Chain A
Amino acid sequence: MFWNEEIETMPRQDLEELQLKKLQKTVKRAFDKIPYYNKKYTEAEVFPEDIETLKDIEKLPFITKDDLRESYPFGLFAVDIKEIKELHSSSGTTGKPVVSGYTKKDIDTWAETTARGLTMMGIGEEDILQNTHGYGMFTGGFGVHYGSHKVGAAIIPISTGQTRRQIEIMNDFGTTGLIFTPSYGIHLGEVALEEGIDPKDLGIKAIGFGAEGWTEEIRQRVEELFGCKAYNIYGLTELMGPGVGVECEVQNGLHIAEDIYYPEIIDPKTGKVIGGDKPGELVLTNIEREGMPVIRFRTKDLTKLTYEKCECGRTHARMSRITGRSDDMIKVKGVAIFPSQIEKALLKAGDVEPHYLIIVTRPGTLDEIEVKVEASKDIFFDGVKEMMAVQTKIGKYIENETGIRVKVTLVEPKTLPRFEGKAKRVIDERNLH
C-alpha cells in the first residue's frame, strides 16, 4: 500500500534529479530571502550557483539548534507573516525555544509525509485513529492529525493522559489505530489489563510510536500487548515535525521522505560526511519548505542510512532506529531535556555553583527522573520544613523549565562524582540503546 506510489518508488536516479532541483531552489530562496543564510553563505564564500550536484551541499555550512534559537522568533522565515498559518515551538533549553512556522502549503507537505507513514502502517479511510500525542506547541499531535485527515481516517484527538478514559474510548469507539510513545503505550496496555480488558481483544490493527527512545524488546512488548504491529515514526519540530521517517510493514528501518527531506550522515566530531552505511549524526535539509527553509540541520541524533531498495518496493533511504545522541540531550516521557535546563533551574533556586546528577530510570513502564543536588550554604537551613521547601522549590523550577515533574534529592556536599573536563550529568539506567 502506497500513499504516493510514483514518488515513493521512484528510481533513485530520478529521485536524485528531483532532489537536486529542489535543493537548488531552496538554497536560492534562502539566500535571497533570509538575511541569516545570506550572511552565513557570503562569509563562507559559497553561493547558490555553486550547488551543481547533490554532493555540493557539503559546501554549505551547518545550521544548529543554537542558530535557530538566535533567530527567535521569526528570523528564519522566508515569507511574510501573513503567509504563515501555523506556529509551533520546541521546548527552550538554555535560552529561547525554537520556533517553526508553516505556510498553507507547508502544512499540506507535512500532512503528505504523515499520510505516507499512516499508509505504510495500513491506516486508511476505514480506520479510527486514537492519537495520544499531545496537541499543542509540540508537533507530535498535529502532525499525525493532518496526515490522518489526508488518508481519510477518523481521528480521535485525545492527547496524553486520562488513561482510563482512553481505554473506555478505545473500547466504545472501536479504535483501530493507536499513536503513542512506547512507554505510554505499555502503561495504557497494562492499565487496560487491570480494568479487565485484554488490549488484544480491542481490534487494534496498527500502532505508530515515536518521540522517545526504545529498544526492540519494548517494541515486542507493545506488539504482544496489543496483538498488532508497532511502527516507528521519526521527526523533529525544526524540520516540521513527525513524518520525516516512518517504518513500512517490513519494519527494517524508517523511510525518509527523501523528496522532502534530504538526509546526510556526518561524523559529529569533524563535521565531514561519512559515506556508505556507517553510523553517524543525521543532518537534514528541508527541500520542500516555503515558510522556513532549514538547510543542513544537525539533528544530533545518531543513526545510519541505507539506500538499498526495500522489500516493500520503496526506493527512499531508510534510517535505522536512533541509537543515541551526539550531545547530552535525554528524552524522558517523550520530552527532550538538556542538563543545562536543570542547571538553569538550580541557579534560579539560589545555588551559585550547582553540582547535580540526573538519574533516569524506568522502574515499571513509565520514566522517572531524579535530580540529585548537592546541598550548599545557600540552601541549607536548620529546619526540616525549610529544607523540604527548598526541595519543592527546586522541583518547581525544574518543572517550569522542562515541563517534567522530577524527584529532587538533596545530598551532602562533594558526594557527587567530579569530572575533569566535561561533566557527566546524566545517568540513564533505562538501557534504551
Chain B
Amino acid sequence: MKIKQLSIFLQNKMGSLSKPLEILSDADINIRAMCMADTSEFGILRLVVDDPEKGKEVLEENNFLVKITEIIGVEMNDTPGGLTAVLKSIKDNNIDLEYLYAFTHDKVGKAILLLHADDIDELISSLKNDNFTIVSAEEVYNL
C-alpha cells in the first residue's frame, strides 16, 4: 500500500537535475511522478519510479545521496473540488501533512494525490474512514 519514493539530495546549481535523471534513464528506470523542494542552496528531488530499489542502487553507485521514503497515493476526482475534499478530510482529522504532489493518468475522471506525513499509518486509516481509495503501490509503479 505504501509507495516507496526516492528522495535525492541535490545542490541548487545549474544543471544539477540532469545527472540523476540521466543515470535513471541509462538504467532503464521510468519516472512516474516527481516533485522538487528547493531552497536557495539545496533541493530535495522526490521521485516515484517503477523500480525504487534499483533506482536507489544506481544513484548511490554514482555517489548520490538517496533515501527511500514511504508515501501514499490517494485516488481523487479529477474535477473542481476533488483535491479540496481530500485535504478537508486530512485537516478534520488533525493530521499535519509534510508535502504533497499530484498527477493525472489514463484513468478518466480520476487523478492520484501523493501524500507524506510523519505518521503515515494514521493518515491511511483516517482517509479510509472517510471512504477514500488508497492506491496500491504496484498500481502507481506500473501505471
* A contact residues vs B (CB 8 Å cutoff): 375-377, 380-384, 387-388, 409-415
Rounded to whole Å, the gap between the CB of A233 and the closest CB of chain B is 39
Rounded to whole Å, the gap between the CB of B49 and the closest CB of chain A is 15
Question: B1-36 toward A: CB 8 Å interface, digit per residue (1/0)?
Answer: 000010101110000100000000000000000000
- A415 and B37 CA atoms in complex are apart in Å by 21
A376-B65, A412-B11 are known; give 8 further A-B pairs, CB within 8 A: A377-B65, A377-B67, A382-B44, A382-B46, A387-B39, A410-B9, A412-B9, A413-B63
The yes or no answer to B103 lying at the interface (CB within 8 A) is: no
B64–A382 CB distance below 8 A: no
- Which residues of chain A are near B39, meaning CB under 8 Å? 384, 387-388
Which listed residue (B5, B46, B65, B98) contacts A413, Cβ 8 A?
A: B65
6 residue pairs, one from A and one from B, having the closest CB atoms: A382-B7, A414-B63, A382-B69, A384-B37, A413-B63, A380-B65
A410–B67 CB distance below 8 A: no
- Which residues of chain B are near A376, meaning CB under 8 Å? 65
* B contact residues vs A (CB 8 Å cutoff): 5, 7, 9-11, 16, 37-39, 41-42, 44, 46, 63-65, 67, 69, 98-99, 116
- A409 and B40 CA atoms in complex are apart in Å by 10
- A382 and B65 CA atoms in complex are apart in Å by 11
B67–A380 CB distance below 8 A: yes
User: Can you list 6 A-B pairs, Cβ within 8 angstroms, ordered by A?
Assistant: A382-B7, A387-B9, A409-B42, A412-B9, A412-B11, A412-B64
- A383 and B37 CA atoms in complex are apart in Å by 8
B11–A415 CB distance below 8 A: yes
A375–B65 CB distance below 8 A: yes
Nearest A residue to B39, CB-CB: A384
- Which residues of chain B are near A381, meaning CB under 8 Å? 67
- A387 and B7 CA atoms in complex are apart in Å by 12
Which listed residue (B9, B37, B41) contacts A380, Cβ 8 A?
A: B9
- A388 and B12 CA atoms in complex are apart in Å by 14
Nearest B residue to A383, CB-CB: B98
Rounded to whole Å, the gap between the CB of B87 and the closest CB of chain A is 19
Q: A382-B7, A383-B98, A384-B37 are in contact. Are A410 and B42 (CB under 8 A)?
A: yes
- Which residues of chain A are near B38, meaning CB under 8 Å? 384
Q: A375-B9, A382-B69, A415-B11 are in contact. Are A387 and B63 (CB under 8 A)?
A: no
- Which residues of chain A are near B7, meaning CB under 8 Å? 382
- Which residues of chain A are near B99, meaning CB under 8 Å? 383
- A383 and B41 CA atoms in complex are apart in Å by 14
- Which residues of chain B are near A414, meaning CB under 8 Å? 63
- Which residues of chain B are near A382, meaning CB under 8 Å? 5, 7, 44, 46, 67, 69, 116
- Which residues of chain A are near B67, meaning CB under 8 Å? 377, 380-382
Nearest B residue to A377, CB-CB: B65
- A387 and B67 CA atoms in complex are apart in Å by 13
Nearest B residue to A407, CB-CB: B41
- A380 and B10 CA atoms in complex are apart in Å by 11
- Which residues of chain A are near B63, meaning CB under 8 Å? 412-414
- A409 and B9 CA atoms in complex are apart in Å by 13
A387–B44 CB distance below 8 A: yes
A384–B44 CB distance below 8 A: yes
- Which residues of chain A are near B37, meaning CB under 8 Å? 383-384
Nearest A residue to B37, CB-CB: A384
Rounded to whole Å, the gap between the CB of B51 and the closest CB of chain A is 19
- Which residues of chain A are near B16, meaning CB under 8 Å? 412
- A414 and B67 CA atoms in complex are apart in Å by 17
- Which residues of chain B are near A411, meaning CB under 8 Å? 11, 42
- A410 and B39 CA atoms in complex are apart in Å by 11
- Which residues of chain B are near A377, meaning CB under 8 Å? 65, 67
Q: A375-B9, A380-B9, A383-B98 are in contact. Are A413 and B42 (CB under 8 A)?
A: no
Q: A388-B39, A412-B10, A412-B11 are in contact. Are A383 and B65 (CB under 8 A)?
A: no
Which listed residue (B11, B44, B64) contacts A383, Cβ 8 A?
A: B44
Nearest B residue to A376, CB-CB: B65
Nearest A residue to B46, CB-CB: A382
